[in-house]
Structure 1
Amino acid sequence: MFDLFDDIPKPDIVWLPDWLDPPTASDTLAALIDEITWQQDSMTTPAGKIPFPRLTAWQGDPDAVYVYSGIRNVPKPWTPTVLLLKTKAEDAAQTSFNSVLINRYRTGMDSMGWHADKERELGPQPVIASVSLGTTRTFDFRHTKTRQTHTLQLTHGSLLIMQGRTQLEWAHRVPKEPEARGERINLTFRYVDSSAPLKRP
């Protein structure tokens, strides 16, 4: 029988809302807050430079240099808790990662705007494993052609794997949510090809 919903586009994702049990997720969150060296980057806008609405960190293998939003990220060494999460995420995604972008959303006013992770050094169809810890936040997908949207609630201890043509065909964001209480840390594990030409900031 024909399904009216067959033609509605969906991102190529794997969604594991209970990837970590609550006690493990809470212990992991506390460890990350303590062991990671956080930084406050800035971005250039028509009004001048403004700070990112979140704190960030970049860890990985020594050659996993990554440029996004005009920032050249040279990886800091893997910290113990991040390395444990990397190994577990590799098992779930059935692929290898050599780097991770870590975002710390301090309140519901911290956010990330619409974008796609499609830099050349990530390859044509990157696999990105996104681990969420802390306060539940909305995660929106938007199809680049149809403008169709797909929304998830990224819960404490969840894993979202984005793969296939997701980065080519969909943008994503974490919108501001003033009503959200508490912190959220998100780790997006990826593989950076050090032989690919880097974009210049």
Structure 2
Amino acid sequence: MKLINLLPRDGEAYYHGNILETATADLYLDQCISELSWEHDRAFMFGKEIVTQRKMAWYADKPVSYTYSGYTRTALMWPDFLRRIKQRVESSSGDIFNSCLCNFYSSGDEGMGWHSDGEKELVEDGAIGSLTLGSARKFSFKHKITGERLSLSLEHGSLLIMKGRTQKNWLHSLPKTKKSTDPRVNLTFRQMRF
């Protein structure tokens, strides 16, 4: 099946749909929630420390450091089940990843504002594979210059790949919603410069 680029210009985003059967996605969701080393994310904004409701964990091939939002984190080594998920994402996308930034949203009351993933540690124009486990949520793109917007629903067990000039030209967000009270885990597989 040929995938269609969702972005009209200045980047590439491909929605693969569900790459995991429901029972497998359910199992991985439970394992992620119970076995990953979650901690509340922290960021420096306007000279103040912000502690988010959302929790995060970071895993990689090596215990390297990664700095974003004014904080440096050190990667943990892959648990076996997360390595298996990574292999599934790689076989579905054709891209190779060496790290994963994991996000845990306990309900629709937690989200992520407009941002792009442009940290210097990321491979320039490299792929980011976003696997959704749990509650389906709206995911939005906004062009940095034109303000053009588009959104899609990321379903349980589905994969979105962003690559090329996407991070330079587009912002993305996970809006908060009252429609979902169920948890969501988002695994963002990345290509880091080690």
Give the structure-1-normalised TM-score: 0.87
Alpha-carbon distance between aligned partners in 1 of 2:161 and 2:72, rounded to the nearest angstrom: 25
- Contact preservation (8 Å) 1:137, 1:174: yes
Alpha-carbon distance between aligned partners in 2 of 1:73 and 1:145, rounded to the nearest angstrom: 31
Count the aligned residue pairs: 188
- Contact preservation (8 Å) 1:101, 1:189: yes
Alignment-derived partner of residue 69 in structure 1: 69
- Relative to structure 1, the CA distance from residue 77 to residue 163 in structure 2 (aligned partners, 3 Å threshold; closer, same or farther) is same
After superposition, residues 1-201 of structure 1 pair within 5 angstroms as 8-9=8-9, 11-46=11-46, 48-194=48-194
Alpha-carbon distance between aligned partners in 1 of 2:125 and 2:29, rounded to the nearest angstrom: 29
Give the structure-2-normalised TM-score: 0.90
Alignment-derived partner of residue 198 in structure 1: none
- Contact preservation (8 Å) 1:121, 1:193: yes
- Contact preservation (8 Å) 1:98, 1:190: yes
- The one-letter code sitting in structure 2 at the alignment partner of 1:118 is G
Aligned residues: CA RMSD: 1.7
Alignment-derived partner of residue 199 in structure 1: none
- The one-letter code sitting in structure 2 at the alignment partner of 1:34 is S
- Contact preservation (8 Å) 1:105, 1:111: yes
- The one-letter code sitting in structure 2 at the alignment partner of 1:24 is T
Alpha-carbon distance between aligned partners in 2 of 1:120 and 1:50, rounded to the nearest angstrom: 22
In the TM superposition, what is the alpha-carbon distance from 1:41 to its structure 2 partner? 2.5
- Relative to structure 1, the CA distance from residue 143 to residue 29 in structure 2 (aligned partners, 3 Å threshold; closer, same or farther) is same
In the TM superposition, what is the alpha-carbon distance from 1:122 to its structure 2 partner? 1.1
In the TM superposition, what is the alpha-carbon distance from 1:192 to its structure 2 partner? 0.8
- Contact preservation (8 Å) 2:42, 2:69: no
Alpha-carbon distance between aligned partners in 1 of 2:143 and 2:175, rounded to the nearest angstrom: 16
SS in 2 for 1:17: strand
- Relative to structure 1, the CA distance from residue 18 to residue 8 in structure 2 (aligned partners, 3 Å threshold; closer, same or farther) is closer
Alignment-derived partner of residue 4 in structure 1: none
User: Which structure 1 residue ranges, 4+ long, deviate > 6 Å from structure 2?
Assistant: none
Alpha-carbon distance between aligned partners in 2 of 1:80 and 1:35, rounded to the nearest angstrom: 11
- Contact preservation (8 Å) 1:64, 1:192: no
- Relative to structure 1, the CA distance from residue 10 to residue 136 in structure 2 (aligned partners, 3 Å threshold; closer, same or farther) is farther
Name which one, 1 or 2, has greater alpha-carbon Rg. 1
- Which stretch of the first structure deviates more once superposed, 15-24 or 128-137? 15-24
Alpha-carbon distance between aligned partners in 1 of 2:183 and 2:26, rounded to the nearest angstrom: 12
Alpha-carbon distance between aligned partners in 1 of 2:165 and 2:64, rounded to the nearest angstrom: 22
Alpha-carbon distance between aligned partners in 1 of 2:164 and 2:135, rounded to the nearest angstrom: 28
- Which stretch of the first structure deviates more once superposed, 181-190 or 33-42? 33-42
- The one-letter code sitting in structure 2 at the alignment partner of 1:21 is E
